[in-house]
Amino acid sequence: MTAPSTLSRRGALAAGGGLLASLAAAGLSPDRVRPEMRLDSTVPTGSWPGRKRDPRRTGYQPVPGPRTGASVRWRFLTPRDPTASPGVVATPEHVLAVRPSSTFALRPGDGSLAWETGHRERDLLGDGTNEFVQSGPQLAAGHALTAADISLYGLDTATGSGDWAYGTNSSFREVLAVGNTVFFGSLIGDADRLVALSAETGLPYWRTETVARPLAYAPDDGILVTARSPAGADNGVLQGRDARSGAVEWTTARLDLPLLDASAPAVGDGRVYVASGPVYAFDTGDGSKLWRAPYGTDAFRGPVTDGDRVYVTSEGGVAAFDAATGEERWTADVPVQGFATPAIAADRLYVPVDDGVTALVTADGSRAFRATFPGGRPSGLAVADGRLYVRNERGVFALEGER
């Protein structure tokens, strides 16, 4: 790999501060240059721009991927290093992923490197240290969003150049992009805050003091689904917030769900599905509980849904539940491994296993095929433009097969 270009957090923050200072000097409000908030939850067909693909975090792609088998079209190898969620995202133009201290983009046709931007903090003397990537990338409004150390970066998707950075006072992982807006929570100043930023400029739309973290977006109700877990607690509550203001609209009772703020729920048909132990469905309009299904799920993968069924995983296998009633539809004995969330493309469910990916038929859980490759357990899956992309500690793999 060639040496990446470097984006200094201090330089990016200084540029952002300079913009705000210039606006103040001119007597202008940031509202004059910040784009209007657009909470568009649709995703271009064939793209996979973020964790679990869309702001509802369904993990569902209507365009088919490999159906009966898959082979590696190309691979882009990296040193053995840890990776971060969502691991890999893709459009017909770019495939993006992160390394411990950089964000990089590949060309979908052959996997060649298009650009790589390092994240590095410099002090006043110009000396620098690498910033550790916490999560990313995700794509919104022409920008690749990466959280590194205590800052959120907005990189130009086409070139990798740094357009803005938003600094906080602590590290954070969970970032949710909706239209041209990005939501995240972190310690800012002397308090925990939930923030809505412009993905184009890095300027805030609103900030509210809370320990809540963004999880998914319910477009029918305009609700930002968040989790609030008290410090040291093994459970917490879901909250529905007005996405345009951050105001709380509803709060659930305390849930028996560990790691709730990392559970990555899915939204579909006015319901939000949460899985971290049991599987729950709540009404996105008022937060009322619709159903509960006992199952030993893994919090860090979260459920995915195609509208008809909700799919959850554990180390012991995969289960599908009726999305409306919570009735169990099928189970599959597949030893799921790795941190990647399963991905759905049309009628296939791709799940991470120890040495690759297993594809299941969504209707009944039968096995369609298994693809193996070096590098161990996947940390990210994405289906874009008919290809299945896999990120693991050895690199990025593009798989193709009959569709």
Give me Rg for the CA atoms of the chain.
Answer: 20
pLDDT tens per residue, range 358-374: 999 999 999 999 999 88
Confidence at residue 234, expressed as pLDDT on a 0 to 100 scale: 60
Rounded Cα gap, residues 245 and 221, in angstroms: 14
Query: For the residues of 142-163, what is the DSSP string, one character each?
Result: TEEEEEETTEEEEEETTT--EE
Q: What is the pLDDT along the chain (403 residues), one digit of tens a residue?
A: 555 665 555 545 544 444 444 544 555 556 657 899 999 999 999 999 999 999 999 999 999 999 999 999 999 999 887 778 888 999 999 999 999 999 999 999 999 999 999 987 654 444 567 889 999 899 999 999 999 989 999 999 999 999 999 999 998 888 999 999 999 999 999 999 999 999 999 999 999 999 999 999 999 999 999 998 765 556 788 999 999 999 999 999 888 777 777 778 999 999 999 987 789 999 999 999 999 998 877 657 889 999 999 999 987 899 999 999 999 999 999 988 888 999 999 999 999 998 899 999 999 999 999 999 888 889 999 999 999 999 999 999 999 999 8
C-alpha 24: how far from chain center: 34
Collapsed DSSP state (helix, strand, coil) of residue 284: coil
Confidence at residue 230, expressed as pLDDT on a 0 to 100 scale: 63
Confidence at residue 21, expressed as pLDDT on a 0 to 100 scale: 46
List of residues 6+ apart from 275 with CB closer than 8 A: 263, 265, 295, 297, 299, 302, 303, 310, 312
Rounded Cα gap, residues 182 and 204, in angstroms: 9
Phi (first) and psi of residue 34, to 5 degrees: -80, 130
pLDDT tens per residue, range 113-159: 999 999 876 544 445 678 899 998 999 999 999 999 899 999 999 99
**Paired strand residues for 291:** 281
Biggest alpha carbon distance in the chain?
Answer: 65
Confidence at residue 330, expressed as pLDDT on a 0 to 100 scale: 97
Confidence at residue 16, expressed as pLDDT on a 0 to 100 scale: 42
Rounded Cα gap, residues 394 and 277, in angstroms: 30
Confidence at residue 249, expressed as pLDDT on a 0 to 100 scale: 97
